Structure 1
Amino acid sequence: MKIVVKFGGTSVGDGKKINNVCEIIKKMVKDNQVIVVSSALQSTTDELVDLAKSAGKGENNTQAMETIANRHESTIKDVINNQEIQKDVLESTTDLINDLKKTIEGVITIKELSKKTLDYILSFGERMAVPIISAKLREMGIESKHFTGGEIGIMTDENFGDASPLMKVTQHNVKNNLANILDKITPVVTGFIGITQQGEISTLGRGGSDFTASLIGMCLDVDEVWIMTDVDGLLTANPKLYPNAKTIPQLSYDEAAEMAIMGAKGMHPRALDPARTANIPVRIKNTFNPEAEGTLINKDIIVKTNEVTKAVTSINELAMITLSGMNMVGNPGTAGEIFGVLGRNNVNIIMISQSISEANITFLIKNNDVRKAVSVLQVSLLGKSTVTNISSDDSVSVISIVGAGMKGTRGVAARLFGAISRENMNVKMIAQGSSEQNISFVVDQSNTVKAIKAIHKEFNMN
């Protein structure tokens, strides 16, 4: 088989974890052609963000820089025993650290952090991680070479921070650069980063490493893409909120995308697009329990008898804002005006609901955006438009049930809201897409766990 396997930050958190990753790869390469994709070492990306933001204010965050440098140096010494190989990796890592320091010094000098420069700074995480994994594989007797996303030909547009691959040229490049070496070499590729046509490093945004793995899989027409995380696949609920959550053995692409969009841990929804386009199965597996089957995501829609829902997802720390006014009724452009104001102020809208009367519009945003959102809406709309009142609820959660078995099944909503009502919870807002594979509703954040338990019980998900 030909497999792309991606390891996230928690999988490559330190020397011990990287040794475990390399043991997994060693077993895989015995019978398969394997392309490895890696994220940055755990916590590194967040530290690089802090480092860059401090520099943009003219501040030198020496503690973050030292932490990053020390983590990689100690990891290299923990992982690689061969002195010659260790020396080479230490030297290349020192060169990258020095380059990072010079970049940060430049940002501090001008006190300006562009998206392009931020992408370049963030790329150091993956660029310092993959040489360590590749070197360890060579020490274990496995021929390996490390590459950046740009070096294998992932070409993107110039939307720095959330770049999109130029698909045709990327497919051509990746196939030309990797297809003919897989019999001899196990490539280790940086996730998250690509390169523009002008040769500048770009990043693929949230879930970028998952997206890289899926993209490479499509370009090379692999048999499967494996996403290695710290859980045994996609679960029926967040185990931190509901410890009895079970691993879901199989999901369709659409079901998995619904879960990922609604916050399920395991993979980013964007990562599914290339795999779905090429009809490549994706497996979500546990780096620390690799023998477990995990969750298989493919084109098949499998609905077992009496299986209406497959998962419950939740997103916390949200705020609900309601705008109302009798003059909104039948007035074209009101919604566009509201959301235009929010868009211009970089406030992301998570969920929207409007009554048939058109007298109010309610939507969800992250609660750390609520003050800004209410302020700009008040300034822009009150006394100047059809909106006469703006109110907010600053601590709510959105909960969703997901499953293909819901489609065409009568009484799902009645069972769902009946279960919530029996637990004396108030539903503040409801939304359902036309796919009928998802029903979302809003409750007080304090009721999140109680709602998840009630839904598991009602739909026999245990």
Structure 2
Amino acid sequence: MRVVMKFGGTSVGGADNIRRVVSVIKGSLEDGIEPVVVVSAMAGVTDTLERAAEEAPSWSEEEIKSYVGKLRHLHVETVENLISSSIVAREVLGTIESLLDELEKVLIGLSYVGEVTPRSRDLVLSFGERLSAPIVSGALRDVGIDSEPLEGGEAGVVTDDRFGEAEPIMPECQRRARRVLEPMLNAGKVPVVTGFIGRTLDGDVTTLGRGGSDYSAAILGAALGVDEVQIWTDVDGIMTANPKLVPDARTVERLSYEEAMELASFGAEVLHPKTVIPVREPGIPVRVKNTFNPDAPGTLITSTADRAEHVVKAVASSSDVGVVDLRGITMIGRPGIAGRVFSRLGDEGINVIMISQSASESNISIIVSEDDAEKAAKALEREFVGEGVLESVEFTTDASVVAVVGEGMRGTPGVAARVFDAVSRRGVNVKTISQGASELNISFVVAEEDEKDAVRAVHDEFELGGS
């Protein structure tokens, strides 16, 4: 049985946690599993690299050396506390020093040039995973498990050149992954692959978007045709709601690919929304597990939905959104307005999370990420300026989107009524509503301060809590 096992930043966030990762991998080997391991950067490292990429053009050489020194301390200390073999430790430390020297040169180069391109930004961000993979691989070798660290592109994550949000070229991923990883697995070696990053056909480093290590694992899983993709994180699986908002939220035992994608898209941060895309067609199961509680069953994601238990499976929410409202009576009956909205926002690189239009067509509400709200509003003002189509374009970031998700909602009458009646009883005002034709998801927007009450109201109404 072949499995891709992805471990997140918390799971590899220090010597003690990496020991747990090694224990999980060792247990899988003892069970006869051939694992391909995918790792994120150590917890918090990608955030600091992102800041470094943005600020390097204004940093002095001393500031750059100081930053790299902090990264060196974190990773060297982890190796010293983790790996007992002096031979293995020396090899890993040598790799770390080489990578940090390269990073320092890249940052100094950016300070001389005075600007950061999408390509150079991706290169800087890649160092987090490139530093963690040798450490995890070294920890495996330290306990007698044959292992080798590989960069994502080297292992088979071959992408287009959309830096920052690269997409895999799956036929090439399949060819390279099977050429590189198959012989290693056949020889009993455990590959430890950098998540989040890939390479173009020309060899440039790319990133798959924040949280993209899950996506990396799914890409490699599909390329190799593995039996299962496992996402190891710091919670017991995908929950019925954010436990910070709903204390009695429980783990969902089973989800369909579509349910998982909807929940991930609307705030369930345990899983990257794109994770199910590569595995859905070949029907490869995805299992979300807890590194710190490996005996917990986790959440199993497959092509089939378990509709027997609950009409609603879970409630996801996010306050990291903004709402852009377009108003204009002259939009009524005028074709092409929504198309131009999507086209203009696409040109600006802005992803639309949700859209709602009034029956009169005089109002369109667009939900985007909080960081994109002002940019979206200004872009749409420019798009329609001078046409007399819009009376106003306004935006707010005082908003949260709540998504009610479940395959059992399809064809079940009265679900929407129950949702909004429950929310109303809590005194929460709903600003915008959207439901897709699939009937899999009812989404609505509330004021940010009402997010907790809205989520709890729906969670209680459909009795999703556990003991």
Quick check: 1:171 aligned with 2:174? yes
- Tell me the CA shift for residue 345 of structure 1: 4.1
Change (3 A) 1:224 1:375: closer
Shift of 1:133: 0.9
Q: Which SS does the other structure have where 2:325 is aligned? A: strand
In the alignment, what sits opposite 2:390? 387
Query: CA separation in 1, counterparts of 2:383 and 2:269?
Result: 37
Distance in 2 separating the partners of 1:211 and 1:50: 23
In the alignment, is the contact (CA less than 8 A) between 1:286 and 1:294 conserved in 2? yes
Give CA-to-partner distance per residue, 1:232-291, whole Å, 9 cap, x none: 000000111112110000011111111111111211121111111221111000011011
1:241-252 to 2 correspondences below 5 Å: 241-252=245-256
Structure 1 residue 339, shift from structure 2 partner? 4.1
- Cα deviation, residue 202, structure 1: 1.6
Shift of 1:370: 3.5
Conservation of the 8 A alpha-carbon contact between 1:51 and 1:65 = no
Q: CA contact under 8 A between 1:251 and 1:298: conserved in structure 2?
A: yes
Partner of 2:275: 271
**SS in structure 2 of the partner of residue 100 of structure 1:** helix
Q: Does 1:326 align with 2:319?
A: no
Q: Distance in 1 between matches of 2:358 and 2:156?
A: 49
Shift of 1:335: 2.7
Q: Does the 8 Å contact 1:10/1:41 carry over to 2?
A: yes
Tell me the SS of whatever aligns to 1:349.
Answer: coil
Query: Which is further off, 152-161 or 16-25?
Result: 152-161
Superposition CA RMSD, Å: 1.7
| Equivalent residue, structure 1, for 2:400 | 397
Give the secondary-structure state (helix, strand or coil) at the position aligned to 2:398: strand
Residue of structure 1 aligned with 2:88, choices 75, 78, 85:
85
SS at match of 2:457: helix
1:360-384 Cα offsets, whole Å, 9 max, x none, are 1111233444444444444553553
Change (3 A) 1:435 1:59: farther
Following the alignment from structure 2 to structure 1, what is the Cα–Cα distance between the partners of residues 397 and 166? 32
More displaced 10-residue stretch of structure 1: 296-305 or 127-136: 296-305
Residue 284 of structure 1 pairs with residue 288 of structure 2 = yes
Which position in structure 2 is the counterpart of 1:23? 23
For residues 49-86 of structure 1, the C-alpha deviation after alignment (integer angstroms, 9 at most, x for no partner) is 11111113455543432221111111111111111211
Q: Which amino acid aligns with 2:268?
A: A
Look up the SS of the partner of 1:12 in the other structure.
Answer: coil
Unaligned stretches of 5+ residues in structure 2: none
Query: CA–CA distance in 1 between the matches of 2:239 and 2:132?
Result: 29
- TM value normalised by structure 2: 0.95
Report the more deviating stretch, 54-63 or 189-198: 54-63
Cα distance in 1, alignment partners of residues 389 and 167 from structure 2 = 38
**Superposed displacement of residue 400, structure 1:** 1.0
Matched, 1:192 2:196: yes
* Aligned length, in residue pairs: 461
How many angstroms apart in 2 are the aligned matches of 1:153 and 1:271? 16
Structure 2 residue aligned with 1:209: 213
- Equivalent residue, structure 1, for 2:99: 96
* CA gap 1:355/1:205 in 2 versus in 1, 3 angstroms: same
2:430 counterpart (427, 432, 435): 427
Question: CA 1:147/1:373 → structure 2, altered by over 3 Å: closer, same or farther?
Answer: closer
- Equivalence for 1:230: 234
| Maintained 8 Å contact 2:264/2:272 | yes
1:110 aligns with 113
The answer as to whether partners of 2:174 and 2:223 remain within 8 angstroms in 1 is yes
Q: Which structure 1 segments of 5+ residues have no match? A: none
| Alignment deviations for residues 384-430 of structure 1 (CA, whole Å, 9 cap, x no partner) | 33111233343111111100110000110111111111112211111
Match of 1:6 in 2: 6
Preserved contact between residue 382 and residue 389 of structure 1 (Cα < 8 Å): no
Change in Cα spacing, 1:153 to 1:341, as seen in structure 2 (3 Å) is: closer
Counterpart residue identity of residue 40, structure 2: S
CA distance in 2, matches of 1:101, 1:156: 26
State whether residues 373 and 396 of structure 2, in contact with CA within 8 Å, keep that contact through their aligned partners in structure 1.
no
Q: After alignment, is 94-103 or 84-93 more displaced?
A: 84-93
Tell me, in whole angstroms, the C-alpha distance in 1 between the residues paired with 2:368 and 2:166: 24
Among residues 357, 373, 394, which one is paired with 1:354 in the alignment?
357
Q: Does residue 139 of the first structure (1) align with residue 142 of the second (2)?
A: yes
CA displacement 1:158-184 (0-9 Å, x = unmatched)? 222222221112101111211132142
Partner of 2:123: 120
Kept after mapping to 1: 8 A contact 2:156/2:220? no
Taking a change above 3 Å as real, the CA distance of residues 221 and 343 of structure 1, as seen in their structure-2 partners, is closer
Mapping for residues 365-376 of structure 1, pairs under 5 Å: 365-376=368-379
DSSP-derived class of the 2:238 partner: coil
Deviations 1:206-240 (A, max 9, x none): 33211111111112221111100111000000111
Aligned residue runs from structure 1 range 48-63, under 5 A? 48-57=49-58, 59=60, 61-62=63-64, 63=66
In structure 1, what is the equivalent of residue 414 of structure 2? 411
Mapping of residues 29-48 of structure 1, within 5 Å: 29-30=29-30, 31-48=32-49
Secondary structure of the structure 2 residue equivalent to 1:395:
coil
Displacement after TM superposition at 1:137 (Å)? 0.8
The one-letter amino acid of 2:143's match is: M
Indicate the larger mover: 112-121 or 435-444: 112-121
Q: Given that residues 129 and 195 in structure 2 are in contact (C-alpha distance below 8 angstroms), is that contact kept between their aligned partners in structure 1?
A: yes
Measure how far apart 1:123 and its partner are.
1.2
CA distance in structure 2 between the partners assigned to 1:289 and 1:135 by the alignment: 23
Aligned letter for 2:449?
Answer: S
CA drift of 1:32 comes to 1.2
Are the aligned partners of 1:238 and 1:265 in contact in 2 as well (CA < 8 Å)?
Answer: no
1:445 positional shift:
1.2
Contact 2:149/2:193 (<8 A) preserved: yes
Q: Is the 8 A contact 2:85 2:142 kept in 1?
A: yes
The verdict on how the C-alpha distance between 1:337 and 1:57 changes in structure 2, with shifts beyond 3 A counting, is farther
Provide the TM-score with structure 1 as the length reference.
0.96
| CA separation of 1:195 and 1:383: change in aligned 2, threshold 3 A | closer
Separation (CA, whole Å) in 2 of partners of 1:122 and 1:394? 28
Residue aligning to 2:453: 450
Displacement, 1:341?
4.3
Aligned counterpart for 2:223 among listed residues 213, 219, 231: 219
Any idea what SS the aligned residue of 1:182 has? helix
Preserved contact between residue 133 and residue 149 of structure 2 (Cα < 8 Å): yes
Any conservation in 1 of the 2:173–2:220 contact (CA below 8 Å)? no
Q: Distance in 2 between matches of 1:453 and 1:216?
A: 37
- SS of the residue 1:321 aligns to: strand
